[in-house]
A and B are shown apart, each in its own frame.
Chain A
Amino acid sequence: MRYLIVGNSAAGINAASEIRTKDSVSSITMISKDTFNTYGRPLISYYLNNKIKPEDIYYHNKDFYIKHDIKVLLNSEVKEIDIKRKKILFCTKTKHNNDILVYDKLLIAIGSNPILPSIAGLDYNYTNVFTFLSYEDSIKLKSSITRTSKVVILGAGLIGLKVAEGLAEQVKNVTVIDLSDRIMSSNLDQASANIIQKHMENHNIKFQLKSSITNVNNTHNLVTEVILSTGDIIACDILIIAIGVLPNLNLAYKAGLKVNKGIIVNEYLQTSNEDIYAAGDCVESVDLLSNKKSVFALWTSAANQGKIAGENMSQGNHSKFLSEFAMNAISFFGMHILSAGVVNTNLQNIQSVTMKCQSNQLCRLNILNNNLVGFIMINENKRAGIYTALIRNKTQLSSLAYDITNHQNSNVGFNVYSTTERKRLLDLANIKI
């Protein structure tokens, strides 16, 4: 059997490891347009502000690939999948001609691409315009900044804010612009967004919310100023576009595989072609809470899907990917934010219980019909994993031994469950689901 995996990030590497644990003889090849072995993509902002050493960005050490006999082709971009002949065409940076690789089972784990809006006066080839998605992006950005850089970031989502944090201590001026009325609008409610925005403002970051960039001024192929919808003009010598990502669908679409918002897969993560699986940010899954088709740009889901796809590719379809829901663990300047599920408290029938609310701390639970459906915690993590499990398992809150919304029970941990349920859950830990 020849296993071929396109993409060497969260989904790809976890698929490769899983295949190897199930099949010790077949050949496993990972091919990626990346220049580097698998690294923690979310760590690229930690590299930017020297919070990690370059050698610690890697997900596995070099021995891993030798020990597990996994072949890795880097700097190799896959151009086409020929599903009839079961081969792929790829090209490397050094060679002009396309090369060919054949497969028996293929995994597409090519993640997402940045959304690049068209803005008057802006050419994405300008050398002071950046995206922030890869280690290469981060290296390039790091070598371009100086103490006096005037940085403008378009997008106050997770990636925009992480890059802002990464730069704040190294440059004089960082301004974040977003159309929304609050930062991280898809992950946070107004109260939590306010706490975090204030905290970031205290760390030298300026915000211009409810505004967008209408056009940019440039000289000698460099952006010099951005002009906002509010009419404000901001001097800018580094412009970072971080308004979001979209699944990378090109390869699948061209190959004739079914795609929608993401690549369409069944519960075994198999695409419309039985020898091709797909996993990670490029895949469309079902949101457990809304039952709607969604794409999750989450490391956890990508890793999990990769593992399940790997298992099914090597063992035949028997492991199912259960539906997922949004969750996030993120920190800015030492302030930790944990959130999962529904965070918008304005939705109908949601009962929002605030357990704690201070200038730098928050704990809010969102409940719908006797089920926990979401939470946000700032600088507080007690019971976070238990809350996540309550959402995932749709546990009836009335079945618990303690009322989780009662402040007096705030120290209760895993013993929120009844004795029988506790025993059942402890036993489950030994079973591979």
Chain B
Amino acid sequence: MKKIYALEERCLGCRLCEVYCKTAHSKSKNIIKAHKEEDIESAIFIEEIISEKQISYFALQCRHCADPQCVKACISGAMYKDDDGIVKNDKKKCVSCLSCILVCPFGAIKLGKDGKTVSKCDLCVDYGKSLCVEKCPNNAIELLEEHYKKEI
């Protein structure tokens, strides 16, 4: 399956991916409304790496693990791996117990702003295209076949 890969050496930490992630997951799909009216948690986050010489960045999001711990931890069956291998959270069934957050080794799942469900990357399948990938000005986020051995 295809997964999102963040290319650390190209990332400027501009956080546009976060902006577009929220837009793609908003009801309105409108960048202004998504931010001003709908309070959504982004499912991709820029992490800073501070070393003595420089600050670098990379974008983190769900890895859609082959053996996802969040799915096994989920007490309601809301978290599941679909037939295409995408790990999804059915918001209707989620009771926000945070069991998934407790076991995700990447810290890639967040409690939604409404506190009622969790938010995670679903590769924007419902939106039709991965907006963070498309909008990244530096091509620092790519959608690649998982066996495509490109170094992150």
Contact = CB atoms under 8 A, between A and B. Distances in A.
A419 B53 CA distance: 15
Interface string B112-125: 00010000000000
Interface in B35-75: 45, 47-49, 58, 60, 63-67, 69, 72-73, 75
Contacts of A401: 49
Contacts of A57: 76
Interface residues of B, number: 41
A25 interface: no
A66 to B, nearest CB: 15
Contacts of A54: none
A323 to B, nearest CB: 15
A307 B72 contact: yes
A145 interface: no
A432 B66 contact: yes
Given A385-B107, A413-B60, A429-B66, A299 B99 contact: yes
Interface string A411-433: 01111000100010110011111
Contact of B152 (A51, A385, A423): A423
Nearest to B111: A381
Contacts of A415: 47-49, 58
Contact of A385 (B72, B92, B101, B147): B101
A413 B101 contact: no
Interface in A292-315: 299-300, 303-304, 307
A413 B47 contact: yes
Contacts of B104: 385
B72 A329 contact: no
B29 interface: no
Interface residues of A, number: 49
Contacts of B69: 300
A43 interface: yes
A385 B67 contact: no
Contact of A303 (B63, B72, B93): B72
A43 B49 contact: no
A424 B109 CA distance: 20
Interface stretch (A126-134, A204-212, A332-340, A346-354): A332-340
Interface string A229-252: 000000000000000000000000
Contact of B77 (A59, A336, A426): A59
A42 B98 CA distance: 13
Interface in A365-413: 381-386, 388-389, 401, 412-413
A22 interface: no
B100 to A, nearest CB: 8
B82 interface: no
B75 A40 contact: yes
A401 B48 CA distance: 12
B76 A59 contact: yes
Nearest to A432: B66
B146 interface: yes
Contacts of A60: 77
Given A307-B72, A415-B48, A431 B102 contact: no
Contacts of B8: 419
A275 interface: no
17 contacts: A43-B76, A46-B95, A59-B76, A300-B69, A300-B103, A331-B97, A340-B102, A381-B98, A384-B102, A385-B104, A385-B106, A386-B105, A388-B103, A413-B60, A415-B49, A425-B105, A426-B106
Closest 10 CB pairs of A and B: A429-B63, A389-B105, A385-B104, A59-B77, A303-B72, A432-B66, A329-B99, A42-B75, A300-B73, A329-B98
Interface of A: 14, 40-43, 46, 51-52, 56-60, 299-300, 303-304, 307, 327-331, 334, 336, 338, 340, 381-386, 388-389, 401, 412-415, 419, 423, 425-426, 429-433
Given A336-B111, A386-B105, 14 more contacts: A43-B76, A46-B95, A51-B95, A59-B76, A299-B75, A304-B72, A385-B101, A412-B47, A415-B58, A419-B49, A423-B152, A426-B63, A430-B147, A433-B67
